[in-house]
Amino acid sequence: MIGRIVASISGQYSISDGENIFSAVPRGIFRKDNQRLMVGDLVEFNKEMNTIEKILPRKNELKRPRIANIDQLLIVSSIDKPLFSFELVLKYLTFANFNHIHSEIIITKTDIASENEIIAKITDVFEKIGVKTHFISNKTGEGIEEIKKIFNGKVSALMGQSGVGKSSFLNMVDPLFDRGVGQYSEALGRGKHKTREVILLPFGGGFIADTPGFSSLELEMTKEELGQYFPGIENLYTGCAYSNCIHISEINCKVKEALNLGILPKVVYDCYIKMSNEALTFYRR
Ligand SMILES: Nc1nc2c(ncn2[C@@H]2O[C@H](COP(=O)(O)OP(=O)(O)OP(=O)(O)O)[C@@H](O)[C@H]2O)c(=O)[nH]1
Ligand SMILES: [Mg+2]
Ligand SMILES: [Zn+2]
């Protein structure tokens, strides 16, 4: 039978065939070939022997969160606690683009936004660079009904820092998910890493992955790649005069032109420059 791995706990895997959940372990052959199973993997399994026989080819795989075969990444970020950061969200968006995975943004905790300006600013910036943004509150339920349809028939993964409300959000989508919810720590400026494992939860004919939060993400990209995948720049760079333009001091640069015309938001360009300074300087072979 063919099924999808939805969870893994110390060498035991839970497999969904779309209706039922089976428990199975990989056959010895996996260890020999050094093949490692991932949540999201489509596998051939033997339901009598409770063994996983084969991994089907993956359409994509991510290291962080560790998951395979997803259709979209939903980047979750809170307005406050932890404080919203354009830099972090743009980094996650770049990561999604680099992996050729569609992404959208979910902004949580609108109920504790001290002013509406930040919501207006976030809306404006991401609208300008063509990324869809959803605003929700897991406390008041604002925006929850509207967002549910984006999950239909897709495998989606939530991604974002600890404490932004990924698990809380899933409980709002379906209370039966019964996800454990952690606490925001003022001292740490983030949550306390409540969710420890990636798990796929069935919803709307597809799945939604709850994932552990993490703050540091190494993009491991060259400066050239950063420009190719950075949101807002990815559609402009081919118009630059120099094919290896990194959009800082070159002449006839489409990116700088868009910035000066107000088409490309300044905050996006500034984050790009900051990340460009941190990016790898060597060329990928
Ligand atoms: N006011 C408010 N608090 C929220 C909202 N969403 C989540 N919280 C709170 O934020 C804290 C962290 O929520 P979690 O759902 O555990 O966050 P998480 O993103 O799953 O965190 P990790 O599992 O550690 O990665 C909890 O105290 C929640 O009650 C929201 O929309 N509004
Ligand atoms: Mg969680
Ligand atoms: Zn340029």
Strand partners, 65: none
In DSSP terms, 68 is beta-bridged to 61
pLDDT digits (tens, 9 = 90+) for 215-268: 778 888 998 899 999 999 999 999 999 998 999 999 999 999 999 999 999 999
What six digits make up the tokens of 277? 């300074």
Residue 109's pLDDT is 98
Please name each of the domains of the chain with its CATH number. 2-57 (2.40.50.140), 62-210 (3.40.50.300), 223-278 (1.10.40.50)
- The one-letter amino acid at 162: S
- Ligand 1 contact via 194 beta carbon (within 6 Å): yes
Ligand 1 contact via 179 beta carbon (within 6 Å): no
Among residues 228, 221, 260, the alpha carbon closest in space to that of 244 is found at 228
The number of the ligand nearest the C-alpha atom of 228 reads: 3
Helix axes of 266-278 and 117-128: crossing angle, nearest 10 degrees: 70
pLDDT tier for residue 33 given thresholds of 50, 70 and 90:
confident
Tell me: the pLDDT tens digits for 63-85?
Answer: 999 999 999 999 999 999 999 99
DSSP notation for 114-155: S-SHHHHHHHHHHHHTT--EEE--TTT-TTHHHHGGGGTT-E
191 lines ligand 1 (CB under 6 A): yes
Return all residues near 30 (Cβ < 8 A) that are at least 6 apart.
36, 37, 52
213 Cα to the center of ligand 1, angstroms? 11
Instruction: Identify which ligand lies nearest to the alpha carbon of 190.
Output: 1
Residue whose C-alpha is closest to residue 241's, from 255, 262, 227, 230: 255
Type of residue at 68: A
- As given in the structure block, the two tokens for residue 184 are 């925001």
